[in-house]
Copies of this chain bind each other. A is one copy, B any other.
Amino acid sequence: MDDDAEHRLDRAFLALADPVRRGIIARLSRGPATVNELAEPTSITVQAVSRHIKVLEEAGLVSRTRDAQRRPVHLEPGRLEELTAWIDRFRLIHEQRYRNLDALLRAAPERTPETETGS
């Protein structure tokens, strides 16, 4: 994995490490919304929400279009998919390792401490 991909993961995971930004992602999964619409249900200012959106945008998790003076924000599901791919890769390696270990113990149990005490 090159530095660019690493940096992209940095920004994407960091972007999700905030409840306000995860709330924005959750809202956008139901469809596009403007900055003001996203700020309305929260207790923070519109400016703060605008900066949260900037973080999400630089992480590649959302994009913005232009509609008169509004800038609707859209979810970009591709980046979310990259994150689950990263996580699942190592989750499955780990799972496979334990499956192999389990099979090994099952096939030749006579030398393992666990089976000695268990007999």
Contacts and interface: CB of A to CB of B under 8 A. Distances in A.
A17 interface: yes
Interface in A70-119: 75, 77, 80-81, 83-84, 86-88, 90-91, 93-95, 97
B97 A77 contact: no
Q: How large is the interface on A (under 10, 10 to 19, 20 to 34, 35 or more residues)?
A: 20 to 34
State the number of copies, please.
2
Secondary structure at chain A's binding surface: helix, strand, loop or mixed? helix
B91 A84 contact: yes
Contacts of A26: 90
Contact of A17 (B14, B31, B90): B14
Contacts of A14: 13-14, 17
